[in-house]
Structure 1
């Protein structure tokens, strides 16, 4: 997450690590249906065709993980997804998830949440009041919890459809219509926590809650021509963590900007300079309309209105036009070692320090490292994005990401090393979707202290065994199912 100036570093914003477990089903969700920007953050989201969510086991501890199927180990990412930590970490060994606390024993012998002091049952694996995940201190009793307890009183809200739901990820019990387990009271995850988009076989992205945050305030929105090398739009927004409803703001901004840049395909007057200028102006217009979308979703009475970063890459043949507000980034990851570049420049306190001569590693890990100086929102000081362009002469990857990825590998060579090693470890990661998933998993393995979003577009030749041909059938299936762009 990013924070505005004079705000605390976002790593101190969360109440406690591992506040939820991401166990959503591995189905795909349509842009138009997933999720409704106006619904509560804990509401269940209806699945639809072009966005996927993770199955049970996504936050499983490495010691309990079984199987090595997936993009880092030679398996198929379109098949069942094992837990994130089961995949090889590069570089370095995967970090074990922090142990969950147990309920504290109070003076009268009862138990309470160690985070908010809410009374709990001994077998509770989740505090309904604050969301803290727990290690139960007693086995689950057989049969339903006694009538009237905190674990059952939320069930059966009127007007909620009683549609089939997946078993509780904590205890296997039945999830009620209010999205809480009727057995242990655990809150069921929703599709906003982890989703994927793949509008074409050469463009894909993954947006994930990470490990430590209680909700996903990142967002992405993608569109692409079917034919590789055509027009593509990749947008990533990162909600400001200490502002109200930033998970709503980021999704509204990303989708609105995508709509502007997808409907408006400027080409200028036919010469390259004119085409670049027209696309650059379209990015500026998209930022303005995205900002209005954020304002429209804001509570006018809020003293701390929602806000988010904005990063966009527009590909048109060999031309890449990019822009940003805040510290979400656009990179060019070249297939040739040493030729990768960070294209955008952050609007942040850290970048100001780097410009003054402070070493990158020190600046990006110092006080207020993630405090941003530009953003989208009602209180935004400047809505003019930093826009640039480049001609892509080689083969490689356009990468748009939030700081949840670059927290762990900031410079272009560091991220390029991750990409090249991921493909070397498993040639299946030449698939765009697989590589995006692999990078997100790697960031989770490093601690997942922030939401993580990765959007990729492949430029140049695909591998004959692992590229466009193999993914084409999947893309056609999605198109037949009504994939939104």
Structure 2
């Protein structure tokens, strides 16, 4: 029987005081905490399965509240999602929920989060994102980013930027999202990496590709985490490896 294997971890890193990342894998969520080692879950292929990482906005209040709210909404909505329009509608619903949660709560004003993930259906896989958290497709031919960063070009001499141009919440005025959604092939053996920028900012794509080419899921997740830590662990690190098995 075909199945979906998801291996994930979340870690505060070496600099931040707390973890503002949240993670959803089907009905399961992990919010604002640290896993001691990669965890793997198996699901039957055929039912809609959402795997997503939400990265609460740093420098603004309550990023962990926004990211948790979004992944818990997606855990509830996931089984009903059946395509690109459903994903767009769900993300706009999440956006409105983040904005509404700030009503009468000055401590939550302008809280926001990014989101990036995959929706695995019986015959296809859809990637989606808002913000700069990322989705990569990893095959024997190499690593390819399939998400679209909502961020301006990096400044000269810099590889990355922390600025984002679109998030769920993140402002005092509610806005309509334009999520990035992409329909991708569903091929047994292919892997998709969903992650926050706590991995991709300090770790070059070439290193991520090298790790995924030589290691199985659990070891790869650990080695990606270790690469981010050895690069200084400047931010929260959350990642999920999604693999289609036959």
Contact 1:206–1:453 (CA<8 Å) still a contact in 2?
yes
Contact 1:257–1:289 (CA<8 Å) still a contact in 2?
no
**Which residue pairs with 2:97 in the alignment?**
293
Q: Which runs of 5+ in 1 are unaligned?
A: 1-199, 267-278, 424-429, 462-485
Partner of residue 280 from structure 1, selected from 75, 80, 84: 84
Paired residues for 1:265-276 under 5 Å: 265-266=81-82
**Which residue pairs with 1:112 in the alignment?**
none
Paired residues for 1:49-448 under 5 Å: 202-223=5-26, 226-227=43-44, 231-262=48-79, 264-266=80-82, 279-298=83-102, 300=104, 301=106, 304-334=109-139, 336-338=140-142, 340-350=143-153, 362-365=157-160, 369-377=161-169, 379=171, 381-393=175-187, 395-411=189-205, 413-421=206-214, 423=215, 430=216, 432-448=217-233
Aligned-partner Cα distance in 2 for 1:328–1:242: 16
Contact 1:374–1:382 (CA<8 Å) still a contact in 2?
no
Contact 1:237–1:328 (CA<8 Å) still a contact in 2?
yes
Aligned-partner Cα distance in 1 for 2:232–2:78: 34
TM-score, normalised with respect to structure 1? 0.43
The Cα shift of 1:398 comes to 1.1
Q: Give CA-to-partner distance per residue, 1:17-70, whole Å, 9 cap, x none.
A: xxxxxxxxxxxxxxxxxxxxxxxxxxxxxxxxxxxxxxxxxxxxxxxxxxxxxx
Task: Determine which structure has the larger strand proportion and give its number.
Answer: 2
The Cα shift of 1:296 comes to 3.9
Cα separation, partners in 2 of 1:228 and 1:444, compared to 1, 3 Å: farther
Which structure has the larger Rg over C-alpha atoms?
1
Contact 2:62–2:108 (CA<8 Å) still a contact in 1?
no
Aligned-partner Cα distance in 2 for 1:308–1:333: 25
**Which residue pairs with 2:234 in the alignment?**
449
Aligned-partner Cα distance in 1 for 2:123–2:225: 27
Aligned-partner Cα distance in 1 for 2:203–2:108: 35
What SS does the aligned partner of 1:322 have? Answer: strand
- When the two chains are superposed, the root-mean-square deviation of aligned CA atoms in Å is 2.6
The Cα shift of 1:223 comes to 1.1
Q: Which runs of 5+ in 2 are unaligned?
A: 28-41
The Cα shift of 1:414 comes to 3.8
Cα separation, partners in 2 of 1:299 and 1:226, compared to 1, 3 Å: same
Task: Report which structure shows greater RCO (CA 8 Å, sep ≥6).
Answer: 2
Aligned-partner Cα distance in 1 for 2:127–2:13: 26
Contact 2:50–2:74 (CA<8 Å) still a contact in 1?
no
**Which residue pairs with 1:144 in the alignment?**
none
What SS does the aligned partner of 2:209 have? Answer: helix
Aligned-partner Cα distance in 1 for 2:22–2:195: 10
Cα separation, partners in 2 of 1:212 and 1:259, compared to 1, 3 Å: same
Q: May I ask how many residue pairs the two structures share in their alignment?
A: 227
Contact 1:291–1:378 (CA<8 Å) still a contact in 2?
no
TM-score, normalised with respect to structure 2? 0.81
